Amino acid sequence: MSWRKWLFLISTASLLAGCTANPATTIFHTNSMIAEQKLQLFNILFWMGVGVFLLVAVLLALAIIRGRRQPGDNSEPRQNHGNVRLEIIWTVIPILLVVYIFFITVRTMNAVAAPPREDGDLTVRVIGHRWFWEFQYPDLGITTANDLVIPEDTNIHLELVSVDVIHSFWVPNLSGKIDVVPGQQNSMWIRADNPGTFMGHCGEYCGMQHANMHFNVIARSADDFTAWVQGQQQPVAAAQGTLEEEGEQIVTAGVCAGCHTIQGTKMVGKTGPDLTHLYSRTIIAGGFPLDDATLEQWLRNSDELKPGNLMAGIRVSDQQIEAVMAYLKTLR
C-alpha cells in the first residue's frame, strides 16, 4: 500500500474514533458546570505557563546570542552588581501572577463547592471494591454495580467509602477526582447538564486490576430515570421455564450466594456486586461491556478475563453454564 493510502486510512480511523455516540472521556469535553469551571481554570494556568516559558526561553536565547565572546576578545565581560529596578521587576511580576492564581483558584473552588441540598437532590453511596464500584441509593432502596444511573440536571451528593484499599473516583467529563478511603467517608457532588453516558475511572493505583475498575455514569431525562427506578425497585420474580429454574437453583443454592445478593431470593452476600438487575447494566466486572459472550467467558474462567479477581477459581461447569446463563439473563 502506498504511503498516501496509509495516511488516508490513519486519518479516517482517527476521525471515526471521535464519532462515538458518547463524548470522549476527557476533561476537555465537559458536560457539567463543575467540569467547565475546572477546565477554565486549567486553560488559564496552562496558557500562563506557556507565556512564562516563552518569555524565559526568548530572554535566554537573546542572552546566549548577544553575550557570546567575540573572536580575539579576551577581556572580562561587564560585571553587574545589583540592579534594583530589575530585581523589583522580577520579584513583583511573579508575586502578581501567584496572587492572581490564588484568586482564580479560590473563585473556582467557591463556584464548584457543594450547593445547599434542595428538594429532588439525590444521595448515592459510592463503595470502592477491588475491583468494581458499588452504588447504593439509600432513599430509593436500590443497589447497583458498575453503572451509576442519575437524572440529568439534578444535584447528586456522593458519599464515598472503600471496603479495602484507597481508590479514587473520577468522571472526567463531569467532575474532578476524590480519594475513596477505607474507614473514612469523603463526599463530593456531581451534576450532568445533559443525558449521556460518561465513563468513570479509578484514579488511584489499587492493585492488579486497577485498570479494570471502570464504571459508567448514565445520565437520563427525568422520565427515563423514574422508569429506571421503578424497574430497579422490583424484586426478582421466581424463574420461569425449566432451564431458567435449573439455573436459579444452581445460582441461589450454590457458591454464588456466599458473595452476591439477588433481592427477592435468599442470596445476601456482600463481597461481590449485587446481581439483582444484572442484565440492565452496561458493564460487567468493572470494565467489560456486558454481553452474552463476556458473561459466559466470565463464568467459565473469570481469571482469564480479569486475573486476580476474587471469583477466580470458581467455575461454572460446561453442564451448568447454559442454565446459569439463562437464569442470569432474566435478571433485567
Q: Please check whether residue 135 is in contact with residue 178, taking contact to mean a CB–CB distance below 8 angstroms.
A: no
Q: How far apart are CA 77 and CA 69, in angstroms?
A: 9
Q: How many helices (H) and strands (E) does the chain have?
A: 8, 12
Min dist CB 205 to ligand CUA, Å, is 6
Of the pair 24, 208, the CB lying nearest ligand CUA is at: 208
Of the pair 216, 263, the CB lying nearest ligand CUA is at: 216
Of the pair 161, 321, the CB lying nearest ligand CUA is at: 161
Of the pair 242, 271, the CB lying nearest ligand CUA is at: 271
Q: How far apart are CA 281 and CA 216, in angstroms?
A: 9
Place of cell 441461589: 252
Q: For residue 37, which of 176, 153, 224 has the smallest C-alpha distance? A: 176
For residue 265, give the C-alpha cell.
431470593
Min dist CB 186 to ligand CUA, Å, is 14
Of the pair 151, 272, the CB lying nearest ligand CUA is at: 272
Of the pair 200, 247, the CB lying nearest ligand CUA is at: 200
Min dist CB 22 to ligand CUA, Å, is 22
Peptide bond preceding 133 in cis form (omega within 30 of 0): no
Q: How far apart are CA 50 and CA 138, in angstroms?
A: 47
Q: For residue 170, which of 161, 162, 158, 178 has the smallest C-alpha distance? A: 178
Residues that bind ligand CUA in the complex, under the rule CB under 6 A: 128, 131, 167, 202, 204-206, 210, 213
Of the pair 166, 229, the CB lying nearest ligand CUA is at: 166
What are all long-range contacts of 105-110, with beta carbons under 8 Å and residues at least 24 apart?
105/41, 108/37, 108/38, 108/40, 108/41
Min dist CB 212 to ligand CUA, Å, is 9
Min dist CB 132 to ligand CUA, Å, is 9
Min dist CB 167 to ligand CUA, Å, is 3
Min dist CB 230 to ligand CUA, Å, is 31
Q: Please check whether residue 159 is in contact with residue 189, taking contact to mean a CB–CB distance below 8 angstroms.
A: no
